[in-house]
Amino acid sequence: MTAAKPILLAEDNPRDAELALAAMEEEHISDKVVLCHDGAEVLDYLYCRGQFKSRLKGNPAVVFLDLKMPKVNGLEVLRTIKSDISLRPIPVVMLTSSREEKDLAESYALGANAYVVKPVEFHQFLTAVRELGTFWGVINEPPPEGSPSTN
Amino acid sequence: MDTVTSDRPPLPPIAGDSTPETGLTPALSPPQPAKRTVARRFRELTIERRILAGFSLVFIGILIIGAVSYRNTTILIENSRLDTKSHDLLQLLNTVDVAMDEAENNHRRYLVTGEVVYLKSFRSLTEQKPTYLKYLKDLTAGLPQQESRVDTLQKLIEQQINAETGAIAKRDGGGFEAVRRIALEGAAKRELAAIHRIIAEMETDEHQSLRRRLSESTLSTTNTIVLLALGAILQLVLLASVYYLIRHDITARRKVAAELQLRGELLEAANKELEAFSYSVSHDLRAPLRHIDGYASLLSKAVGDSLNDKAKRYLQTISDSAKQMGQLIDDLLVFSRMGRQEMLHTTVNLDQLIKTILYDLRLDLQGREISWTIDTLPEVPGDPAMLRQVFVNLLSNALKFTSTRPIAKIAVGVETKSAGEIIVFVRDNGVGFDMQYLGKLFGVFQRLHRADEFEGTGIGLANVRRIVHRHGGRVWAEGIPDQGATFFVALPTRRPRT
């Protein structure tokens, strides 16, 4: 059952965040979304520290990660997640404006599970975010808690 | 008819590069008036030619010095040989002279005394005579005057010997009385005098020759020494000039190399900056557009029902403009990437390429009546993805600008296969263009049609030109308003440098 597992959305731009939430609203999954405003917050959440010190334990169902963020950028967050044995199973979807080959290659090399370029057109953006939210937050079965990856 | 101008302005001259030494070829300089000094001519030569000229002069100098020295030395050797010969001859003449004297004197003593011992000199002379004559002939060979004197000498010697022989025979037959008169005067007094005279002449002659040769040898030696000294100085000067030339050239080259390296570094830095810039464009410029379209859509959703048609159209226009700008940014990024992207160097089958493109464009072809004429196209060296972009753009344009025609006619073919390049054209019967705008045709964001006539961002042909230029080729176009346009792409058949 994935209902309890939150979707972690890392997005420094409040407008992008609002639009993403508006998209998820339509699928009624917006209440599952935890919004982080930079990479440091994402790591705080994952390691239950700072403002997330008292949150319920457990990994999120998925992390939607923007590439360009203040403090700690997306690629650095991705590197941390994928090099931590307890965080590695969390699916990470890069959700970014960059279509640069360099970013794509680097993301996949670090172990990103998906890479989605945010479409400029809102309807496409809506569809993309909705489908991502539904797939990773509802359809996809996340790894069981407390069973770190064997590799 | 190539109207394409280069994307980049030519590099400004590198500092220090303006010196004529580093000029490429003398042919590049404008024609000069006929009156040109040698020095000026020399200054127009390339550094390699100047160094070569310098070394050639040194070499010629060495050759001349060598030849003259050889000649002078040969003269010296020959003179020394002749001198030896002269000295030998002088010595021999002296010997002969003495021998003749002794023979005559002793023979007279014999005539008087009858002592056989006095005949020794005469017999010795008779024995030695052929040897003397042989050596005399040998040593005077090649000297006609001396040779003829030797002949005379030979006759006189023989006469003297004959006279003496006769006198001796008389003395032996008739005793002292028979030869009394002869013994007083001498049998060959006249001959002996003649012999002395001739030998004296010959000696004088040889001494003259010796003196002549001595002065000749002295002159020749002096000449050689002077020549060697002058030659050595000249060679030194020439070699010093060549050394100066080479050193000057190396310094200039080093300077240029350093300059080039600096430029390379600057270019690299500029390129990095450009990359960062386009990354920023790609990432940051899209976000506000997404927001504009997003919020316009959200607004439309929130209050859409209560809006009148005009307000709805406004909202739609906001969304459309945002989308259009998104497209522009994407196109610009592609254009920028086309300039920076590493090129693949393989062979591209244009025939196959066009077929694939037409297959991919099939959705655009729906509902259109198009008459295609596609020639068999050759293979060209190049980057498949980039060349694909070229022909996608050209074919899309052909399709776009014939959309107002009831029957579109589009032809793809090979114009001519001139040496070193293949010219492919794409011809359509579309709206064409006025040739006076040709210069703008391939520019970035240049459009010859209004946005409401034909959509597009105006980057397609700029991309075509950039890609073809990177392949070392050319692009140009011909058009007639309302009748159609033809786009030409000339690609080199050999791989370009970059």
Q: How many angstroms away from the CA of B281 is the closest CA of chain A?
A: 9
| Measured distance CA(B59)–CA(B69) in Å, rounded | 15
Q: Of the candidates B284, B286, B297, which has its C-beta nearest A123's C-beta?
A: B297
Residue B378, token pair as written in the block: 């050759």
| Measured distance CA(B159)–CA(A36) in Å, rounded | 148
B4: nearest Cα among B468, B457, B426, B447: B468
**Any idea which of B88-97, B267-276, B393-402 has the lowest mean pLDDT?**
B267-276
Domains of chain A, first to last: 7-138 (3.40.50.2300)
Whether residue A27 has pLDDT greater than 90? no
Whether residue B89 has pLDDT greater than 50? yes
Q: Which of residues 21-80 of A touch B (CB under 8 A)?
A: 22, 67-68
Residue range A1-14: mean pLDDT, rounded:
77
Q: Which of residues 75-114 of A touch B (CB under 8 A)?
A: 96-100
Whether residue B415 has pLDDT greater than 50? yes
Test mutation, B278, B286, B331, chain A, max A CBs within 10 A = B286
CATH topology of domain B344-492: Heat Shock Protein 90 (3.30.565)
Read off the pLDDT of residues B280-310 as tens digits, 9 standing for 90 and up.
Answer: 776 778 888 888 988 988 888 888 788 888 9
| Measured distance CA(B122)–CA(B456) in Å, rounded | 136
The predicted structure's pLDDT at residue A78 = 93
**Any idea which of B20-29, B168-177, B384-393 has the lowest mean pLDDT?**
B20-29
Whether residue B372 has pLDDT greater than 80? yes
Is the Cβ of B297 closer than 8 Å to some Cβ of chain A?
A: yes
**ipTM, 2 dp:** 0.77
Give the torsion through C-alpha atoms of B145, B148, B154, B156, to 10 deg: -90
Q: How many angstroms away from the CA of B484 is the closest CA of chain A?
A: 35
Read off the pLDDT of residues B330-370 as tens digits, 9 standing for 90 and up.
Answer: 887 777 777 777 788 888 999 899 999 988 888 878 888 88
SS3 assignment, position A94:
strand
Q: What φ, ψ does residue B421 adopt, rounded to 5°?
A: -145, 160
| Measured distance CA(B492)–CA(B498) in Å, rounded | 12
Please report residues of B whose CB lies closer than 8 A to that of A119.
290
Residue A137, token pair as written in the block: 């937050």
Specify the domain boundaries for CATH 3.30.565.10 within chain B. 344-492
Give the torsion through C-alpha atoms of B45, B48, B49, B53, to 10 deg: 120
The predicted structure's pLDDT at residue B262 = 94
The neighbouring-strand residues paired with B477 are B487
The predicted structure's pLDDT at residue B426 = 93
Residue range B36-45: mean pLDDT, rounded:
72
Is the Cβ of B281 closer than 8 Å to some Cβ of chain A?
A: no
Instruction: Give residue B11's pLDDT band: very low, low, confident or very high (50, 70, 90).
Output: very low
| Measured distance CA(A56)–CA(A6) in Å, rounded | 10
- The answer to whether the CB atoms of B291 and A19 lie below 8 A apart is yes
Provide, rounded to the nearest whole percent, the portion of chain B with pLDDT above 70: 90
Is the Cβ of A16 closer than 8 Å to some Cβ of chain B?
A: yes
| Measured distance CA(B387)–CA(B380) in Å, rounded | 10
Read off the pLDDT of residues B254-281 as tens digits, 9 standing for 90 and up.
Answer: 999 999 999 999 988 888 888 778 777 7
Whether residue A109 has pLDDT greater than 90? yes
